[in-house]
Structure 1
Amino acid sequence: MAAALLLLLCAGAVLSSVEAQDSYVQLSDIYKKGVDLALEQLASHSSVQHHFRFLRTIAESPLESGFGVSYIYHHFYLKPTTCPKGTTDTNAQRCRFRNDRPLMDCAVCYKAVGDHIQDQPNPYVHCIQKPRLTVEMKTARMDHCKKMSYSSGAPTLLAVSKTS
């Protein structure tokens, strides 16, 4: 009985890891680039000790403003792995998720032309451990992203209008 329970637990862990990697693979190229931008920023911090992998999307709001220009807002979770920071992409597939560390809650917004992130306005990346995320931080994220799309004169999906 205990062996069957252990087998079931191991199978669940493997499926969870495969599902998370599949979710990254299923992202469009422009969303992958935003996730990669967040991963690069995390890796650049000296306090970050582990390699992270994409877990899942929480929210996304693409806004097409014409001529191949879009404004992307992507809210997602990253999960720490057993691999050390600096693990290369080819080795990252072998990195198992850690369940003893909190998720990293990330939001990115940026202007894209085709499948390329533009330098202006500067892409916005905000990642923090999920338990430390406050309502004020969430509001600041949304406000920053709204200003980014408004500054170029584009309408935004983040601003909802009601019709009577």
Structure 2
Amino acid sequence: MAAGLLLLVCAGAVLYSAQAQDPYDGLPDDYKKGVDLAMEKLTLDPGVRHHFRFLKTLDKSDIESGFGVKYIYHHFYLKPTRCAKGSTVSNAQTCPFRNDRPLIDCAVCYKTAADQIESFPKPYVHCIQKPRLTEDTRTTRTEHCKKMNYNSGAPTLLAVSMPKN
């Protein structure tokens, strides 16, 4: 009887700790940088009154174009919390979610080189309350990010460096 009770308590502890893990912590570093960009943009916007936390990824991709260059696309949700806007990073991941405000739907795309976000092309960050997201907005986001994923010139660089006889 005691062994069964101990097993039940252990199973409950494992399930509780699995649920307590923050989804942000599970993101690869390249994607965390995009979430951080979106959070920074929301924090600086005077019209935004809440602090947000990463909730979940809807879609993501990265295109490696050589020489340590990647083009990152990340579509995700942010959820408002009960913490004050501008909460510090140390306590931000523990802020409890609010369920009385809409999710924020964000799409970011940017170029990285040597694991740092490049300033050209300018990183694209678009966040909007989920109920206000339209199909036109989705299309505009997608088209903008597709334009960023232009040919990086890597094949041209290789062709130029080949000796001609």
Name the structure 1 match of 2:54.
54
Is 1:18–2:20 an aligned residue pair?
yes
Identity of aligned residues (%): 63
1:1-164 paired onto structure 2 within 5 Å: 18-19=20-21, 21=22, 23-150=23-150, 152=152
Q: Which has the larger radius of gyration?
A: 2
In structure 1, runs of 5+ residues without a counterpart are 1-13, 155-164
100-109 vs 110-119, greater mean Cα deviation:
110-119
**Paired residues, what number?**
140
Shift of 1:77: 0.3
Counterpart contact for 1:108–1:123, Cα < 8 Å: yes
Q: How big is the shift at 1:70?
A: 0.6
* Alpha-carbon separation, structure 1, partners of 2:102 and 2:18: 16
Runs (4+) off by over 4 Å:
14-17
* Counterparts of 1:141 and 1:68, CA distance in 2: 25
Per the alignment, in what secondary structure is the counterpart of residue 141 of structure 2? helix
- SS for the counterpart of 2:73 is strand
Query: Once the two structures are superposed, what CA deviation does each residue of 1:1-27 show, in whole Å capped at 9, x if it has no partner?
Result: xxxxxxxxxxxxx879724x1x21111
Q: Partner amino acid for 2:112?
A: A
Q: If the length of structure 1 is used for normalisation, what is the TM-score?
A: 0.80
1:146 alignment partner AA: K
> For residues 73 and 63 of structure 1, what CA distance do their matches in structure 2 show?
9
Contact 2:65–2:152 (Cα < 8 Å) also in 1: no
Unmatched segments (≥5 aa) in structure 2 = 1-15, 155-165
Q: Report if aligned partners of 2:61, 2:74 keep a CA contact under 8 Å in 1.
A: yes
